[in-house]
Structure 1
Amino acid sequence: MNNLLPQDLGTLDGRLLVFGGPYSNLQALETLKAIADQLQIPVGNIICTGDIVGYCAQPEAAVQFVKEWGVHAIQGNVEQNIIRGEDDCGCNFAEGSRCDLLSRAWFPYAVRSLSAGSVVWLSTLPLQLSFRYASKAVAVLHGAATGIADFVFASTPWPVKKTSFAATGAEVILAGHAGLPFVDARAGHHWLNAGVIGMPANDGTPRVWYLLLDDTNGVFSYTFHAFTYDNGRAHQLMRAKGLPDSYAHTLLTGIWDNCEILPEAEKALQGRAIVSATPCVAAACQPIPPPAPGPIDFPAARA
């Protein structure tokens, strides 16, 4: 049964690790779990913002990995449409666009690759999570409160974001779907997107992203972190399964096949390496030097 009600996790404390969009990329999931283990973050403090299933080659293995890992997760639009038996990913792509045409290759593959048990488990995931953290009300959603597949980016006007804050009553929103890591913080409210781990962030590097929240001394803070993984293996598996070659190539180049879903501000940033706020602690997270015309940096992150 589809779980439509938000799930309240109560109060969480200690460091939290937030990640989005595994996209059926088992190799990225395995590396992220190794990072979480090294950081000694318990599973109850790890959150996935949806789209466990997606473009890459191992949907069944990815779902089973997240299930067995035991982290908190919500449904993304991909999960929702699989549960409903729809014939597309529900990404709100324009009909006939390149994204729409490519989704007609990878989405049917994902559907036929999943076991009935995995689909049942996905249907138990909530659409939203809520909890309190560092004295702040936090909501976890996939796209926006207005729609699971609504795209919200850094450049999305603040009044659009305010609608989700008002609907959830949250001071902090942890969102997914957009595929890019970013923060937009104003007037005591924080919209944080951890990015995704299944595909690079269109920044010309093969790195993928996650987010750490911290409540040291009761102060809410956050840092974005990147890591690399065996993207060569993930690429090979996509090619072997006949999945879109351009998406497989993105795992190697860090450049998206197209920017159809992006606003103009985000399109202009294609190929510019993002710089994390702090160095990654894991051995797999060595920084990659940014190309010209220069890196994109995250602002200071304390509240």
Structure 2
Amino acid sequence: MDQITENLGKKSGKMLLFGGVYSNLQALEALKQIAEQEDIAPENCICTGDIVGYCAQPEETVQLFKLWGVKSIVGNVEIQLRENADDCGCDFREGSRCDGFSQLWYPYAQSKLSENSLDFLKTLPNYINFSYADKQVSVVHGSYFNVSEFIFKSTPWQVKQPNFEATKSNVIVAGHCGLPFHHEQNKRLWLNPGVIGMPANDGNPSVWYAIVDDTQSTLSFTHKTLNYNYKLTSKLMQNGLLPKEYSRTIVTGIWDNTEILPAIESGLQGFGIQL
């Protein structure tokens, strides 16, 4: 399928950035309320992809997302679902625990999504770009070059730099890795707002998003935590079809394993997010 970029033109005012809804309807409902309280219009809310994932309500989540009217790019999960692929495309190591878990939650998600939801996923672009506070911003999932590439705070700048050059951007907004962070160098900003569908391996059930602002005629950003009805999310996941380890993570805020994490991020498990 062709790579599609949606250009939003010039944006202004507060914007809400988030990723990884992962079929977590309760988190999405809570975030929608935050946007309304902050008076942030749907067109100023952008998701970095993976609307569908580990949790119990993929169909309801996609339908609420569609109803809300916010913007999103595709994550690897959306690409795989709309192509009716056999796996989630998360780039987990074959035979790993994450790979094993995906063989439970991905078929579950496939079985629950309506044709209407799949048609909606097919409308999502691969990338979004826009100008904001005199900066060019590009939204990618993993990286510009690989939707499933895991980019972390500790990932060397030499790996991040080509993304700015390829997109001609000052700011890259990215997702996929599950952890919120920002990394600034050479007057460039890599901003990952985090995900709302799963905790950030920090020992806290709350999840993460970001708000950017241009009121001072410059781009400023704030990482935010989101509280939601995680107990209900966890309970719904205990249906005998989804990994019980993920339902436990929803409550404990600790990942079952750190297979995908570099040494630095792995060592921070349970110690809170270092921003």
Q: Identify the residue that residue 115 of structure 1 maps to in structure 2.
A: 114
> Which whole-Å CA distance do the structure 1 matches of 2:135 and 2:38 have between them?
23
Q: Identify the residue that residue 173 of structure 1 maps to in structure 2.
A: 172
Q: Identify the residue that residue 193 of structure 2 maps to in structure 1.
A: 194
Instruction: Report SS of the residue matched to 1:35.
Output: helix
Matches within 5 A, 1:82-121: 82-121=81-120
1:219 aligns with 2:205: no
Cα deviation code 1:202-235 (max 9, x no counterpart): 0000010000101013111100000111000000
> Which whole-Å CA distance do the structure 2 matches of 1:112 and 1:170 have between them?
38
> Which whole-Å CA distance do the structure 2 matches of 1:36 and 1:3 have between them?
32
> Which whole-Å CA distance do the structure 1 matches of 2:199 and 2:123 have between them?
28
Structural RMSD (CA): 0.9
> Which whole-Å CA distance do the structure 2 matches of 1:117 and 1:44 have between them?
21
> Which whole-Å CA distance do the structure 1 matches of 2:239 and 2:93 have between them?
28
> Which whole-Å CA distance do the structure 2 matches of 1:117 and 1:241 have between them?
26
Number of residue-to-residue matches in the alignment? 275
Cα deviation code 1:159-193 (max 9, x no counterpart): 10011111111100000001000000011100000
Kept after mapping to 2: 8 A contact 1:57/1:241: no
Q: Identify the residue that residue 289 of structure 1 maps to in structure 2.
A: none
Instruction: Report SS of the residue matched to 1:223.
Output: strand
Instruction: Report SS of the residue matched to 2:216.
Output: helix
Q: Compared with structure 1, are the counterparts of its residues 109 and 204 closer, same or farther at alpha carbon in structure 2 (3 Å cutoff)?
A: same
Counterpart residue identity of residue 112, structure 1: S
Kept after mapping to 1: 8 A contact 2:23/2:57: yes
Structure having greater relative contact order (Cα 8 Å, sep ≥ 6): 2
- Paired-residue identity, %: 52
Q: Compared with structure 1, are the counterparts of its residues 113 and 3 closer, same or farther at alpha carbon in structure 2 (3 Å cutoff)?
A: farther
Matches within 5 A, 1:258-269: 258-269=257-268
Q: Identify the residue that residue 45 of structure 2 maps to in structure 1.
A: 46
Counterpart residue identity of residue 97, structure 1: S
> Which whole-Å CA distance do the structure 1 matches of 2:104 and 2:49 have between them?
20
Kept after mapping to 2: 8 A contact 1:3/1:126: no
Q: Identify the residue that residue 152 of structure 1 maps to in structure 2.
A: 151
234-243 vs 180-189, greater mean Cα deviation: 234-243
> Which whole-Å CA distance do the structure 1 matches of 2:251 and 2:240 have between them?
17
TM-score, normalized by length of structure 2? 0.98
> Which whole-Å CA distance do the structure 2 matches of 1:77 and 1:6 have between them?
16
How far apart are 1:89 and its partner, in Å? 0.5
How far apart are 1:5 and its partner, in Å? 1.5
How far apart are 1:125 and its partner, in Å? 0.2
Cα deviation code 1:118-145 (max 9, x no counterpart): 1111011000000000000000010001
Q: Identify the residue that residue 7 of structure 1 maps to in structure 2.
A: 6
Counterpart residue identity of residue 167, structure 1: A
Counterpart residue identity of residue 100, structure 1: D
Q: Identify the residue that residue 75 of structure 1 maps to in structure 2.
A: 74
Kept after mapping to 2: 8 A contact 1:50/1:73: yes
> Which whole-Å CA distance do the structure 1 matches of 2:227 and 2:136 have between them?
32
Query: What 5-or-longer segments of structure 1 have no aligned partner?
Result: 275-295, 299-303
> Which whole-Å CA distance do the structure 2 matches of 1:25 and 1:145 have between them?
26
1:233 aligns with 2:235: no
Cα deviation code 1:78-117 (max 9, x no counterpart): 0001111111100001111110011000000000100011
Counterpart residue identity of residue 142, structure 2: G
> Which whole-Å CA distance do the structure 1 matches of 2:227 and 2:259 have between them?
26
> Which whole-Å CA distance do the structure 2 matches of 1:226 and 1:3 have between them?
35
How far apart are 1:146 and its partner, in Å? 1.2
> Which whole-Å CA distance do the structure 1 matches of 2:177 and 2:161 have between them?
17
Instruction: Report SS of the residue matched to 1:217.
Output: coil
Q: Identify the residue that residue 56 of structure 1 maps to in structure 2.
A: 55
Q: Identify the residue that residue 208 of structure 1 maps to in structure 2.
A: 207
Instruction: Report SS of the residue matched to 2:259.
Output: coil
Instruction: Report SS of the residue matched to 1:159.
Output: helix
Which portions of structure 1, spanning 4 or more consecutive aligned residues, are displaced by more than 6 angstroms?
none
> Which whole-Å CA distance do the structure 2 matches of 1:163 and 1:269 have between them?
28
